[in-house]
Structure 1
Amino acid sequence: MSSVDTIYKVILYPFITESIASLKAMTNLSGASGDTFMDNVDDFRFKGYAVCSDVTGNLDGVIMMHHYPETAVAIGNSVCENMLNEKYEFTEINEELSNALAEWGNTIVGRATDLHSRYNLEYNFSSPYFVNDVNDMSKYLEGVKEVVTVPITVEGVGRYYFNLLVRSVNYQSAGIKREESTGIANPHTKNLPTDAKILLVDDSSMIRKALKNILSKLGYNNIIEADDGSTALTMVKEQNPDFMFMDVVMNEVNGNQALQNIRSAGFDVPIVMLSSVTDKTLIDECAGYGISGFIFKPIQASNGADIIKNYLKIA
C-alpha cells in the first residue's frame, strides 16, 4: 500500500465520508470525492476559506477543508436554508454564513474525529478553527513535507478540497465504518406542557434560532437562551426553566461540565444534550448525571420537528 493510500484510509477517509454525508443532510446538496493526489508543496495556494484541525500523535500536520469563497458562500446559504427553512442569497461570507459554515465544519470534524478515537487509531485532533486570510497560510506550510489532496465535487455548485498537510507520519492502516444514529431517545412518555419554559444552550446563534423555530412549530413559545455553560447555570438558578436542550462543545464551559454543575447545585430540570460527537464515553458521562436523552446533530428544518417532539417528555 502506498503512503498516499495509507494516509487516505487512516486519516482522510472519515473526513471525506462525513463531509459528503453532512453535505447531503445539512444542505440537500450531493457531493462526490475525486481521486487522491499529491500536491506540490511549493505550488500549494490558499483558495480563500478553510476549516482546519491540527493533527498530533502518529501524525504531525493539519487537516484542511478548503473552499473557494464562492463555493463557501453557496454551501453556507444552503446550510442556512435547510436549518432555518428560509431563502438565503448572500453573495459573500458574512457573520451569518460564517456561523453556518462553522456548524457544518464542527459536525464533520466532530463525527470524523470520534470515529478515529473509537477505532483507537492514535491520532488526536484539535477543535476546528477557520482561516480566511491568505497571509495566514505560510505558517501552516512551515515544515510541511507532503500535501495530500482530495477534491469534492458538489453538484451544481463547484468544488471544495480536503488537504492533509503532513510534517511527519507513522504509517498505519485501519478499516473505518460509518455508523448512523439520531441519538439516545428520551425514555419518558408524558408530554411536556406547551406553556413550559424551555432553556436553549448553544454557542451557535444559528442552532438556537433553528431550535426556536422548531419548538414554535410544535407549540412551544416560552423560550429562553444561553450561549455557554456558565450562563446556563446562572439561568437555571434565576429563571427556573422546566426543560433544557444543551450543546456539549461550547467556547467557554462545555455542556457536560455545565450539566455536572447544574446537578451538583441541586437542580433536577430535565436536560436533553446535543452534540455532533457521538463518543460513548461522553454519552455515558452525561447519562451518569441524569439526562432525558442525547441528540446527535445535525438537526434540520425538514426533520427537526419529528426528532425534537420525541424528546419533549418529562415523566
Structure 2
Amino acid sequence: MSVETIYKVILYPFINESIASLKAMASVAGESDDAFMDKVEDFRFKGYAVCSDITGSLDGVIMMHHYPETAVAIGNAVCQNMFGETYDYSEINEELGNALAEWGNTIVGRSTDLHSRHNLDYQFSSPYFVNDVSDMDKYLVGVKEIVTVPIKIDGIGRYYFNLLVRSASISGGGLKRDESQGVANPYSTALPTDSRILLVDDSSLIRKGMKRFLSQIGYTNVDEVDDGAKAVAMVKDNCPDFIFMDVIMGEVNGNEALKAMREAGSDVPVVMLSSVTDQELIDECQALGISGFIFKPINSENGPQTLKDYLKIA
C-alpha cells in the first residue's frame, strides 16, 4: 500500500480538519508538508499526543503529535481566541489541557465523522491523550509502517500526524467534507435577558467561553452542567428557560438527553452544539424539536453574535 493511498484515505481528512481548526480556534495559519515513511526503529515520542485507535481493515493508531512547547503555544492561542485575552502559560496546566482537549476532540470528531459517511470498513476509537514517554512503547508493538505528515504553524513551529500501521487492506481516493453552516433558529422574538439559561457541555473551556459571551449580550442568569444526565435532572427539578447543549458527552449524550426531556413532557427551547455534522443526528434532533444547531467552533469574535442569533423563542 503506497504512502499516497494511506495519506488520501486515512490522513487527508485529519490534516485538513486540523489546519481548518487552527484557523477557526487559534487564529493561526498552518500548512502541511509532504507525507513520508518514518522508520519504526527511529520513531520517538515528542511529549504530547492526541490519539485514536483504528480497527477493521486497518489496524493501527493515528496520532496528532506535538513537542510540549508546541502544545503549550497552541493551547495559549486557543484560549486567547476563545476569550479575547492574552495567554502566556509556559507549561500545560488544567486550562491549557482543556483547550487542547477541545481542539483535539474537534479535529478527531470531525475527521472520523467524515470517514464514517463513506461506509469504509475500519473504525476509530474516541480520542484520548498521551503525555507520558513511558506510555509510547506499547503503541509501537507490531507496527510495520509509520506514515508521517508535518504541519507547519506560522510563528509557532510544527506538529505531526503519525499513522502507525500494524496491518492494512484499504483502497480508495481522498475524502472531502461539505462545509455546513448549521441549522438556524426559525424564530424572531428574542429571549428576555432575565431568563434562566442552562449550558450543557463536558468541555469547561466551552462552558466558560459561552458564559462570557452570554454576559456580553446581557444574559447573566446562567447555570452549567457537564453531562446530559445532569441536564435532564435540572429540567425535571427546576426547568430553565433555554438550553444550549453539546451532543457528544460522557455519560449521556445531548441527543439522548433531549429525547428524555421531550418524553418527560418538557418543551424547553434547546439549541444543540457539536463539532460533528452528522445529518442523521441533526434530523433526529430536529424531529425531537430544537431551536437550532450550532456547529463548533465558536470564539470571542463570533461567539456573542452567534448566541444572540439563536436566543429566540417565538
Q: TM class, shorter-chain normalised?
A: over 0.9
Match of 1:102 in 2: 101
8 Å contact from structure 2 (residues 12, 174) kept in 1: no
Stretches (4+) displaced over 3 A = none
- Deviation (angstroms), 1:306: 2.0
Counterpart-to-counterpart distance in 2, 1:310 and 1:272: 11
Amino acid at match of 2:291: S
Instruction: Show the 5 A alignment for 1:123-202.
Output: 123-202=122-201
- Deviation (angstroms), 1:117: 1.3
Amino acid at match of 2:307: I
Partner of 1:184, secondary structure, is coil
Counterpart-to-counterpart distance in 2, 1:308 and 1:6: 41
- Deviation (angstroms), 1:56: 1.5
Partner of 1:310, secondary structure, is helix
**RMSD of the alignment, in Å?**
1.0
Structure 1: unaligned runs, 5 residues or longer: none
- Cα shift readout 1:34-84 (whole Å, capped 9, x = no counterpart): 010111111110000000011122211111000000000000000001111
Amino acid at match of 1:8: Y
Match of 2:13 in 1: 14
Q: How many residues align?
A: 314
Counterpart-to-counterpart distance in 2, 1:208 and 1:182: 22
Does residue 90 (structure 1) correspond to residue 93 (structure 2)? The answer is no
- Deviation (angstroms), 1:120: 2.2
Match of 2:74 in 1: 75
8 Å contact from structure 1 (residues 121, 174) kept in 2: no
Partner of 2:53, secondary structure, is strand
Instruction: Show the 5 A alignment for 1:252-267.
Output: 252-267=251-266
TM value normalised by structure 1: 0.98
- Cα shift readout 1:183-235 (whole Å, capped 9, x = no counterpart): 11111111111111000000111100100111111111110111101111111
Counterpart-to-counterpart distance in 2, 1:204 and 1:18: 19
8 Å contact from structure 1 (residues 182, 297) kept in 2: no
Counterpart-to-counterpart distance in 2, 1:182 and 1:224: 27
Counterpart-to-counterpart distance in 2, 1:218 and 1:180: 28
Amino-acid identity (%): 71
Does residue 39 (structure 1) correspond to residue 19 (structure 2)? The answer is no
8 Å contact from structure 1 (residues 111, 276) kept in 2: yes
- Deviation (angstroms), 1:275: 0.5
- Cα shift readout 1:101-145 (whole Å, capped 9, x = no counterpart): 000001101111111112223331111100000010011111111
Counterpart-to-counterpart distance in 2, 1:32 and 1:238: 49
Counterpart-to-counterpart distance in 2, 1:63 and 1:285: 30
Counterpart-to-counterpart distance in 1, 2:67 and 2:174: 31
- Cα shift readout 1:18-41 (whole Å, capped 9, x = no counterpart): 000000111111101001011111
8 Å contact from structure 1 (residues 190, 313) kept in 2: yes
Counterpart-to-counterpart distance in 2, 1:287 and 1:304: 23
8 Å contact from structure 1 (residues 248, 256) kept in 2: yes
Structure 2: unaligned runs, 5 residues or longer: none
TM value normalised by structure 2: 0.98
